[in-house]
Amino acid sequence: MTPIGLKSPPARLPRRQRTTADLRAMQRLMAHALYQPLTPADDLAPRFRDGRAMADVAASFIKPNDRLSSLERLQIYARCYWYRVIDCVYDDSPGLRALLGEQRFSALVRAYLAKYPSRSFTLRNLCSRLPQFIRDEPRWTAPRTALAHAVARFEWAQTVAFDGEARPVLTRDDFADAPPAKLRLALQPYVTLLAFDWPVDDYVIAVKQRDALRGEASHAVDHGPRAASHRRVPWPRRGRVHVVVHRYDHRLFYKRVESAAFRVLEQLAAGRTLAQAIAAAGARAKPDRVREWFATWMELGWFCRR
Amino acid sequence: MPANRFNAFTDYGIGLGLRVPHYAHILERKPTCGWFEIISENFLVDGGRPLHVLDRILEQYRVVQHGVSLYFGSADKPDRAHLRKLKALVKRTRTPWLSDHLCWGSVDGTYTHDLLPMPYTFAAAKHTAEKIRHVRDFLEVPICVENVSSYAEFHASEMTEWEFLGEVVERADCGILLDVNNIYVSAQNHGFDPYDYLDHVPHDRVGQMHIAGHTRFEKYILDTHDHPVLDPVWKLYAHATKLCGVTATLLEWDDKIPSFDEVHAEALKANEFIAGAREAKKGGDGFPSRPEFPRAPPQPRTARRAVPTSR
Ligand SMILES: [Fe+2]
């Protein structure tokens, strides 16, 4: 698999590097070697992607020394690369990891990163394309692809809620005079609306609680909580939920909303007017209920100018 | 008085890296600390808790920005969106200088998130210096480039690492963040004398120093930042301070981070050597003579998952 974005490696490097193009060729070659998945023993693959022996590729640009071959020196960097990016996905995906189990999760992460190396200067965005990858390549998560996709979306929404942009909050005064038929509100960029066929929020909370207990148990002298901490969190049972992932006072929250309220938010997020959004929710959006919903959402600071 | 024109901040003394496990302690106890070095990338976000914490730190402390992703040595052009965000952060922190590494790490817009070594060629030096100038002109802040620790050398290299560093900073007319631990690590991995390195870098361009701990493996040393500073590194630091004058110095501790007080106490050990430098300036030489560089074979250790986070 060719990593998306990275251009083909050169068949051979010039003996002397005279230009920036020569420098780029060497950097491409090394990046291809680093992005290629390690073997199960965490060694460099024996063959480079074009079929050459990896040892020959390494020797073509890296000097050996009295202790390490060219291949071994390249391998130090390859391991550092893979451990760093895998650790990052692990940290950001406790729910997905629990759902798939260590082995399948590890295989998924390696396949994902082999296809989608980071395209951002920050590791924060490393998992941004994981939900899409899960959907595009269901073999890594089958037969629970839909659930895995839901959990991955939920976990990505947490990254967005943690440090996504906050625009100036709209207050009642900002639209006191605006007629509902004209008024269009936007949701804060850090807010994500998610509808799932499983209570994914409860599942991820249970996993995090289990992991926290596990962390405590590993530090504790007596092994009291150990049995609980090693328990597998049961997979969630089907049931439609509507969750808003957001932050308040710099802390992360998941708020369940009823389906009609969710519909209103969805419509507003899609750019419909306030009147259209409420109408789309149908008879369930009774005026008192709508007033209550908006009072809460305003208080949470979810709306900003479009 | 500044020790050189790139070192206008000798009064900064000893600083610490601002790390998440210490946030609560710093915000609640407000311990004295000369300054904090932040990893710019941790705050190049659009909102939320990181910027909220940073603003509270900025109310109390001097902050200097250190980056890990400008990749001056990557053949790719600098990313404009990244630079715009960085400029906004520079305005927010009012960092007196900004540092990043003499390395590459991205190609074709893909990122390794590592600090990869450069081939020490004249073409690479010229390209790297042009990028540093470009970034400095855009950000409007003095730049110091940091030497990285490395585990590989390239056939293409045409000079030593310290010659390459000198070539780049002269062409870019920028400062140096001299990482003494990185010099030690690379010296061990590549078999050169770290004192040769120190003697040959342009001392009048050193604007900041880094000290840190490392981990020794069977056949190489990894720059892990998860230990106190080791004795040979303190000796190198003393020598570097003698050559460059008193310089703003930062202890890097990024993994297995102990309490704030413990990290701070480790960093303050540098004062001993700074006092030595001041003493030397007054006439006497407060330094031990240049020690013999140990060439004994490295001791085997095993710890496979250690990964440096920033160097
Ligand atoms: Fe450093």
Q: Which of A76, A122, A189 is opposite residue B151, by nearest beta carbon? A: A76
CA-nearest residue to A76 within chain B is B151
Angle between helix A70-92 and A20-35 (nearest 10) = 60
Which residues have a beta carbon within 5 Å of ligand 1, which is an ion? Answer: B 179, 210, 311
Q: Is the pLDDT of residue B5 over 80?
A: no
Query: Does any domain span residue B272?
Result: yes
Check residue A227 and give its pLDDT: 54
In this structure, of A13-27, A39-53, B142-156, B295-309, the range with the lowest mean pLDDT score is B295-309
- CATH of residue B217's domain is 3.20.20.150
pLDDT tens sequence across B60-109: 999 999 999 999 999 999 999 999 999 999 999 999 999 999 999 999 99
Segment B128-146 shows an average pLDDT of: 97
Q: Which of residues 92-131 of B touch A (CB under 8 A)?
A: 104, 106-114, 116, 119, 121, 123-124, 127
- In SS3 terms, chain B reads as CCCCCCCCCHHHCEEEECCHHHHHHHHHHCCCCCCEEEEHHHHCCCCCHHHHHHHHHHHHCCEEEECCCCCCCCCCCCCHHHHHHHHHHHHHHCCCCEEEECCEEEECCEEEEEEECCCCCHHHHHHHHHHHHHHHHHHCCCEEEECCCCCCCECCCCCCHHHHHHHHHHHHCCEEEEEHHHHHHHHHHHCCCHHHHHHHCCHHHEEEEEEECCEECCCCEECCCCCCCCHHHHHHHHHHHHHHCCCCEEEECCCCCCCHHHHHHHHHCHHHHHHHHHHHHCCCCCCCCCCCCCCCCCCCCCCCCCCCCCC
| Chain A contact for B160 (CB, 8 A cutoff) | no
In this structure, of B11-25, B144-158, B164-178, the range with the lowest mean pLDDT score is B11-25
- pTM for the complete prediction? 0.91
Segment B150-175 shows an average pLDDT of: 97
Which residues on chain A are in Cβ contact (under 8 Å) with B191? 65-66
| Chain A contact for B27 (CB, 8 A cutoff) | no
Check residue B285 and give its pLDDT: 46
Q: Is the pLDDT of residue B302 over 60?
A: no
Contact B307 A83 (CB under 8 A): yes
Check residue B286 and give its pLDDT: 41
Q: Which of residues B10 and A173 earns the better pLDDT score?
A: A173
What is the interface size between A and B, counted as CB pairs within 8 Å? 154
Q: Which of residues B302 and A85 earns the better pLDDT score?
A: A85
Coil, strand or helix at A252 = strand
Q: Is the pLDDT of residue B309 over 70?
A: no
Query: Does any domain span residue B211?
Result: yes
Q: How far is the CA of A228 from the centre of ligand 1 (A)?
A: 42
Query: Does any domain span residue B311?
Result: no
The distance of A237 to chain B (nearest Cα, Å) reads: 33
Global ipTM: 0.93
Query: Does any domain span residue B190?
Result: yes
CA terminus-to-terminus distance, chain B:
29
Query: Does any domain span residue B158?
Result: yes
Query: Does any domain span residue B2?
Result: no
Query: Does any domain span residue B175?
Result: yes
Q: Which of residues B1 and A201 earns the better pLDDT score?
A: A201
Kindly indicate the confidence band of residue B275, based on its pLDDT and cuts at 50, 70 and 90: confident
| Spans of chain A, pLDDT less than 50 | 222, 225
Check residue A117 and give its pLDDT: 98
| Chain A contact for B24 (CB, 8 A cutoff) | no
In this structure, of A210-224, B2-16, B207-221, the range with the lowest mean pLDDT score is A210-224
Coil, strand or helix at A295 = helix
Q: Is the pLDDT of residue B304 over 90?
A: no
Instruction: Determine the structural domain holding residue B123 and report its residue range.
Output: 10-306
| Chain A contact for B87 (CB, 8 A cutoff) | no
Kindly report the average pLDDT of chain B as a whole number: 88
Kindly indicate the confidence band of residue B287, based on its pLDDT and cuts at 50, 70 and 90: very low
Q: Which of B108, B111, B152 is opposite residue A28, by nearest beta carbon? A: B108
Residues A189-214 as b or e (16 or more Cβ within 10 Å = b): ebbbbbebebbbbbbbebbeebbebe
Q: Is the pLDDT of residue B284 over 80?
A: no
Segment B120-146 shows an average pLDDT of: 98
Total domain count, chain B: 1
Q: How far is the CA of B94 from the centre of ligand 1 (A)?
A: 21
Contact A65 B153 (CB under 8 A): yes
Q: Is the pLDDT of residue B283 over 60?
A: no
Give the number of other Cβ atoms within 10 Å of residue B38's Cβ. Answer: 22
Contact B113 A27 (CB under 8 A): no
Check residue B290 and give its pLDDT: 44
Check residue A228 and give its pLDDT: 54
Q: Is the pLDDT of residue B273 over 70?
A: yes
| Chain A contact for B28 (CB, 8 A cutoff) | no
Query: Does any domain span residue B5?
Result: no
Check residue B311 and give its pLDDT: 41
Check residue A173 and give its pLDDT: 86
pLDDT tens sequence across A217-262: 766 554 554 555 567 899 999 999 999 999 999 999 999 999 999 9
Q: Which of residues 244-303 of B touch A (CB under 8 A)?
A: none
Check residue B193 and give its pLDDT: 97
CA-nearest residue to B73 within chain A is A23
The distance of B50 to chain A (nearest Cα, Å) reads: 7
**Domains of chain A (ranges plus CATH)?**
1-91 (no CATH), 93-163+201-206 (no CATH), 165-199+238-304 (3.90.930)
Check residue A142 and give its pLDDT: 97
